[in-house]
A and B are shown apart, each in its own frame.
Chain A
């Protein structure tokens, strides 16, 4: 088979984390009783007048700047006209035009395996409204729930010609974009709930060919893995079509998670059939240079920049830095611990190791400071971890005991020094005391000691185990090694 290369354009829809809808004040929430969050405006009843949500506009502006976009001085809303039962008004309010969207001509850097980054150009970041939800009923017919109709939706589209050239890059683009949106606090990123939806436009062409192939759009991808598998599947399907002398048809295809394959949904409508025109009910938006610069200055440090800084300044591995920065709250917890004098590597190890595991098991999240308003949060704060690492560093407790202390402080929320004191877990670091225990163990196991001296060196571990058992794991491990050798040789 000839060699085909892949090109992927990405269309991402992100539901914005506002309290109310885009053009009316119906609350935004997930789930709940159907058709309970609707009003005359989002149902498009005659005589109503929509008013844009200020917070939604600010969120898109913030995202546009974080994605290095240009922001126009004027931006207007358009009507995209089509009939579908999930669209109560008969049109969707969106933003049309090359330089009209709140953000255009930007880019997002994604990390590559060799430690460098690749720039993925972004064509537009625009604001629109979500549709309702269609539910197919078992007995035939469809039911419509308009709770989601009119929820603020941000669309982020990559540029053409596409920069994304393989399934891993498609996935990494989505990972980076999702993290960025979470850092900005503009979307909750829940792909399984549909608050972040990705529709790749996929095409293949013969290696070396200049013109791009006909693209297909893939829908229903609700995980990073699905995006990756979907791109792989389409590359294979399209390559085989072309190789067999057939053509790729421009169409929208759905992704079936169970069979890991795509199926035809509909042949694409042409853009002019949407009859876009400026919405006369909505007043234009203006962005002043002062407003844009103030918003730019308020942007947080973004995940990739943070990860690079952790590697460069704190000496962390790309993997560790990646795990720490994947979630903004997690990175803040880490930075708070470092600010309190914790050693970066030690804090990182405890966080990405025991702490992450315990949080996961308990279904809790980490909190840097203050009181949680929602969900179960851990009692372990950055100060706990810093103190624990200091106790190990000072030789007060061993690493093994520290693991035990961590479990206790996770449950109780007590400070590690208190736990060490109250439970008598202080490490035994007095050489005479450790030697005495070692000698006792050797005496009690004279037979094994004899075998050891006769050359069965594997028995050394047995003696270490006995000393640790006698001291409830409190003996200084380095000292045990040293003292045991002495005791075994001299007795």
Chain B
């Protein structure tokens, strides 16, 4: 493993941030996969990129904008139907407890 590697604790933390529940074996599997990904970046580090301009985006476009003109929205019943629970036109979620 090179200088970029992810510990089991870091893998657990990333899973928690992504709200993914993993058991011990899955966690180790993901740790391995993430480290393989980082290994790829390490390969790239070895390339000589002197004289190569940084590219802000994979697509060679810039300044794609829309005019500030209001358009149509979805009917409320359509979006509320996506929710498990609604009340008075609101999507109902469990009470937020700050941790």
A interface with B by C-beta (< 8 Å): 18-20, 24-28, 33-40, 43, 51-57, 74, 76, 81-85, 134-137, 140-146, 265-266, 273, 275, 278, 280, 283-286
Chain B positions 80 through 99: 1 when the CB is less than 8 Å from some CB of chain A, otherwise 0 = 10100001111111111011
Chain A contacts for B95, CB-based, 8 A: 136, 140-142
Among candidates A19, A25, A81, A84, residue contacting B17 with C-beta atoms closer than 8 Å: A81
Which B residue sits closest to A285, measured CB to CB?
B63
Q: Are A286 and B96 in contact (CB under 8 A)?
A: no
| Whole-angstrom distance between the Cβ of B78 and the nearest chain A Cβ | 9
What 13 new A-B contacts, CB under 8 Å, besides A82-B17, A285-B63? A33-B76, A34-B88, A35-B76, A36-B89, A38-B79, A39-B71, A54-B65, A54-B67, A74-B56, A136-B95, A137-B92, A144-B92, A286-B62
Say yes or no: B61 contacts A27, CB within 8 Å.
no
B73 cross-chain contacts in A, Cβ below 8 A: 26-27, 36-39
Cβ B70 vs Cβ A19 within 8 A? yes
A-chain residues with CB within 8 Å of residue B57 when the two chains form the complex? 76, 278, 280, 283-284
Residues of A within 8 A of B46 (CB): none
B59 to chain A: which residues have CB within 8 Å?
A: 283
Structural contact, B90 and A143, CB atoms closer than 8 A: yes
A-B contact pairs, 24 of them (CB 8 A): A19-B70, A20-B69, A24-B71, A25-B66, A28-B70, A34-B88, A34-B90, A37-B73, A39-B74, A40-B74, A43-B79, A52-B64, A53-B68, A54-B67, A84-B96, A85-B91, A134-B93, A136-B95, A140-B95, A141-B94, A142-B95, A143-B93, A284-B57, A284-B61
A142 touches B96 (CB 8 A): yes
Quick check: A137 and B76 within 8 Å, CB to CB?
Answer: no
Residue of A34, A76, A135 contacting most chain B CB atoms (<10 Å): A34
Knowing A43-B79, A54-B65, A141-B94, say if A284 contacts B56 (CB, 8 Å).
yes
- CB-CB nearest 5 A-B residue pairs: A143-B90, A25-B71, A55-B68, A54-B65, A27-B70
**Cα(A82)–Cα(B94), bound, Å:** 17
Chain B interface, number of residues (Cβ within 8 angstroms): 36
**Alpha-carbon separation in the docked complex, A140 to B17 (Å):** 26
Are B68 and A20 interface neighbours, CB within 8 A?
A: yes
For B63, give its contact among A34, A35, A145, A286 (CB under 8 Å).
A286
User: Contacts of A143 on B, CB cut-off 8 Å?
Assistant: 87-88, 90-93
A54 with B68, Cβ < 8 A, contacts A36-B76, A265-B98 known = yes
Q: How far is the CA of A131 from the CA of B29 in the complex (A)?
A: 35
Cβ of B38 to closest chain A Cβ, rounded Å: 14
Shortest A178–chain B CB gap in Å is 23
Chain A residues, Cβ within 8 Å of B69: 19-20, 25
Contacts of A275 in B (CB 8 A): 17
Q: Are B89 and A34 in contact (CB under 8 A)?
A: yes
Specify which chain B residues have a CB less than 8 angstroms from the CB of A265 in the assembled complex. Answer: 98
Residue of B63, B92, B99 near A142 (CB, 8 A) is B92
Determine the distance from Cα of A141 to Cα of B74 in the docked complex, in whole angstroms: 25
B19 at the interface (CB under 8 A from A): yes
B49 within 8 A of A: no
Contacts of B58 in A (CB 8 A): 280
Cβ contact within 8 Å between B70 and A52: no
On chain B, the residues within 8 Å of A34 by CB distance are 88-90
Which residue of chain B has its CB nearest to the CB of A16? B68
Decide: A20 and B71 in contact? CB cutoff 8 A.
Answer: yes
A39 and B90 within 8 A (CB): no
B52 at the interface (CB under 8 A from A): no
Q: How far is the CA of A265 from the CA of B98 in the complex (A)?
A: 7
Asked if B50 lies at the interface with its beta carbon under 8 angstroms from chain A, I say no
Nearest chain B CB to A426 CB, angstrom units: 54
Instruction: Return the contact of A26 from the options B56, B70, B76, B99 (Cβ within 8 A).
Output: B70
Task: Return the contact of A134 from the options B62, B65, B96 (Cβ within 8 A).
Answer: B96
- Whether the Cβ atoms of A284 and B92 lie closer than 8 Å is no
In contact, B89 and A38 (Cβ under 8 angstroms):
no
Report chain A residues within 8 Å CB of B19: 83
Given A40-B74, A283-B63, A19 and B68 touching (CB < 8 A)? yes
